[in-house]
């Protein structure tokens, strides 16, 4: 993943088949509002939309996943881009492979934490930009089984994730800072042929050595085009080996889902926002810019509201242990998910989106108001176009009184303080699919005469 901010990252990913549709930025700085784009679908390239719908059913229901960035950079503890940003020579950097030896089956703790947090799938780096392979391969000695670890770390991850009932994905960086042809391939055809064959060979091993694989998550395709990578050929091979697999859009052709990074952006295509818990993907011992549990829940609700997924990253330390801050944050998120997880996993696209203190999800005719800034004894939503039939405070089911006119719906007699320390939820049953029109308030609300 990138060490750059979201704006510069968009420039880097401009040729990757970006998600259709515009982004509307919320007044709050925490995240971008997800708007449902109406553009024509772009993918998939190597399958059909009908087959994609079949393969993605579990993914839409899962909604929440764990990303794991783990590699030699975890030993350094200075960000996953340290090799390039610090200008570390290859000969020096590769010495880390001689000391990268995580404790056996560290991934069991990752999978247990993912389950506790309410996540349903996990994606781990098989090879990041540094070029080191966490899996057993016949194509290079620069891999965990042939270096200090002496074992297949990706295989341990696969077993741990499956043991907790998780769907499993492999991240694979097309860009490679270690391989001798990794940059040369851009202007030397013989080098391109060698490097593309190497890449396709590693991807083939990933799709054949571990049983059923649910996701192939490519990353940075520098320095080649889709044609030079032979991405169509590569992804057809992936689908032949794994007929049920999902493939993201970062091999420079549209496939099953788009991947907005460090931002939330809905599209007409299936989409998944990937984010870090602090400012780094790999372990960074000095990065203390942690997202709060409330922020993570808010982001998760925003993704669910826009019928998208939230892939949240952890960066284990070099020994495979999870930073204490990550554990505490995800445990808090998990306690919220224990109460409200069904509202996330069963969420459908929600047209109600405007509030200064709340977010929303929907299932059928039921609207769920997720109040992150509790306003007090009255919660008001403007522009709700449906008739409200009933309202309840979750998770207790306590009946809530309400008043409604053509401009405002008020929920009354609520506790003065938020019932839930993270995000409190009100269930509202409507007479149809919930919708909202706040412009109607501006245009039609009676105006008083000047001076009265």
Mean of the pLDDT values across residues 155-165? 98
Mean of the pLDDT values across residues 127-134? 98
291 and 144 assigned to the same domain: yes
DSSP, collapsed to helix, strand or coil, labels residue 15 as coil
Between CA 180 and CA 192 the distance in angstroms is: 11
Tokens 């390239």 label which residue?
45
Mean of the pLDDT values across residues 148-174? 98
The answer to whether 183 and 195 are in contact (CB under 8 A) is no
The answer to whether 143 and 137 are in contact (CB under 8 A) is yes
Is there a domain that residue 225 lies in?
A: yes
Mean of the pLDDT values across residues 1-24? 36
Mean of the pLDDT values across residues 173-202? 98
309 and 403 assigned to the same domain: no
Of 288, 323, 345, which marks where a domain is finished?
345
Q: What is the pLDDT of residues 406-445, one digit of tens each?
A: 999 999 999 999 999 999 999 999 999 999 999 999 999 9
Confidence of residue 451 (pLDDT cuts 50, 70, 90): confident
Residues 6+ apart with CB under 8 A from 401: 391, 411, 412, 413
379 and 281 assigned to the same domain: no
pLDDT of res. 322: 98
Tokens of 361: 């999800």
Of 345, 368, 394, which marks where a domain is finished?
345
Between CA 76 and CA 128 the distance in angstroms is: 15
Confidence of residue 31 (pLDDT cuts 50, 70, 90): very low
Regarding pTM above 0.85, the answer is: yes
Between CA 27 and CA 98 the distance in angstroms is: 49
pLDDT of res. 142: 98
pLDDT of res. 52: 97
Tokens of 210: 């571990």
Q: What domain count does the chain have?
A: 2
Confidence of residue 30 (pLDDT cuts 50, 70, 90): very low
287 and 261 assigned to the same domain: yes
Is there a domain that residue 301 lies in?
A: yes
Q: Please give the span between the terminal C-alpha atoms of the chain, in angstroms, as a whole number.
A: 59
Confidence of residue 59 (pLDDT cuts 50, 70, 90): very high
258 and 285 assigned to the same domain: yes
Of 312, 345, 378, which marks where a domain is finished?
345
121 and 143 assigned to the same domain: yes
The answer to whether 340 and 395 are in contact (CB under 8 A) is yes
Is there a domain that residue 4 lies in?
A: no
pLDDT of res. 83: 98
Is there a domain that residue 143 lies in?
A: yes
Confidence of residue 448 (pLDDT cuts 50, 70, 90): confident
pLDDT of res. 18: 30
Compute the Cα dihedral for 351, 310, 223, 43 and give only its sign.
negative
Is there a domain that residue 250 lies in?
A: yes
The answer to whether 63 and 309 are in contact (CB under 8 A) is yes
310 and 255 assigned to the same domain: yes
Enumerate the β-bridge partners of residue 394.
425
100 and 51 assigned to the same domain: yes
Confidence of residue 335 (pLDDT cuts 50, 70, 90): very high
CATH number at residue 194: 3.20.20.80
Q: Please determine, for residue 393, whether its predicted confidence score (pLDDT) is greater than 50.
A: yes
Is there a domain that residue 128 lies in?
A: yes
116 and 260 assigned to the same domain: yes
Q: Please determine, for residue 337, whether its predicted confidence score (pLDDT) is greater than 60.
A: yes
CATH number at residue 381: 2.60.40.1180
pLDDT of res. 449: 83
Compute the Cα dihedral for 150, 155, 161, 163 and give only its sign.
negative
pLDDT of res. 242: 98
250 and 372 assigned to the same domain: no
Between CA 152 and CA 302 the distance in angstroms is: 37
Is there a domain that residue 77 lies in?
A: yes
Is there a domain that residue 20 lies in?
A: no
Q: What is the extent of the structural domain holding 229? A: 29-345
Burial 224-248 (b: 16+ CB within 10 A, else e): bebebbbbeebbebbbeebeebbbb
Confidence of residue 26 (pLDDT cuts 50, 70, 90): very low
Between CA 243 and CA 207 the distance in angstroms is: 10
Return the percent helix, strand and coil in the chain, to nearest 5: 30, 20, 50
280 and 369 assigned to the same domain: no
In the predicted model, what is the mean pLDDT of the chain?
Answer: 92
212 and 329 assigned to the same domain: yes
| Closest residue by Cα to residue 260 from 242, 275, 280 | 275
Confidence of residue 40 (pLDDT cuts 50, 70, 90): low
């Amino acid at each position: 993943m990138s060490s750059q901010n979201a704006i510069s990252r968009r420039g880097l990913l401009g040729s990757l088949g970006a998600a259709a549709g515009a982004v509307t930025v919320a007044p709050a700085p925490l995240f971008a509002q997800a708007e449902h784009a109406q553009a024509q679908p772009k993918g998939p390239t190597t399958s059909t939309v009908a087959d994609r719908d079949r393969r993605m059913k579990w993914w839409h229901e899962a909604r929440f996943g764990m990303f794991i960035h783990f590699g030699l950079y975890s030993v350094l503890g200075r960000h996953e881009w340290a090799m390039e940003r610090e200008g570390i020579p290859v000969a020096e950097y590769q010495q880390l492979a001689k000391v990268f030896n995580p404790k056996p089956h560290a991934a069991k703790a990752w999978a247990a934490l993912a389950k506790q947090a309410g996540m349903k799938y996990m994606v781990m780096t098989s090879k990041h930009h540094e070029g080191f392979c966490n899996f057993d391969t016949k194509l290079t000695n620069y891999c965990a089984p042939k270096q200090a670890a002496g074992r297949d770390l990706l295989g341990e991850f696969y077993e741990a994730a499956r043991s907790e009932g998780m769907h499993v994905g492999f991240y694979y960086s097309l860009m490679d800072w270690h391989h001798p042809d990794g940059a040369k391939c851009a202007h030397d055809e013989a080098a391109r042929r060698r490097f593309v064959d190497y890449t396709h060979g590693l991807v083939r091993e990933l799709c054949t050595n571990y049983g059923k694989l649910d996701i192939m998550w490519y990353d940075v395709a520098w320095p080649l085009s889709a044609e030079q990578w032979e991405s169509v050929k590569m992804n057809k091979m992936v689908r032949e080996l794994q007929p049920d697999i999902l493939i993201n859009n970062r091999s420079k052709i549209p496939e099953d889902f788009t991947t907005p990074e460090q931002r939330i952006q809905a599209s007409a295509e299936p989409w998944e926002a990937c984010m870090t818990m602090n400012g780094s993907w790999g372990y960074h011992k000095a990065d203390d810019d942690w997202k709060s549990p409330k922020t993570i829940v808010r982001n998760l609700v925003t993704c669910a509201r826009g019928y998208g997924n939230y892939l949240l990253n952890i960066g284990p330390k070099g020994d495979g242990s999870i930073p204490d801050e990550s554990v505490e944050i995800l445990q808090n998120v998990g306690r919220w998910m224990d109460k409200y997880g069904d509202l996330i996993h069963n969420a459908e696209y929600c047209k109600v989106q405007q509030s200064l203190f709340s977010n929303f999800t929907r299932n059928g005719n039921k609207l769920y108001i997720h109040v992150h800034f509790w306003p007090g004894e009255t919660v008001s939503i403007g522009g709700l176009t449906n008739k409200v039939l009933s309202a309840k405070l979750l998770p207790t089911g306590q009946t809530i009184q309400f008043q409604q006119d053509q401009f405002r719906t008020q929920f009354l007699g609520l506790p003065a303080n938020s019932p839930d320390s993270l995000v409190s939820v009100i269930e509202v049953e409507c007479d149809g699919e919930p919708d909202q029109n706040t412009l109607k308030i501006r245009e039609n609300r009676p105006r008083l005469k000047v001076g009265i």
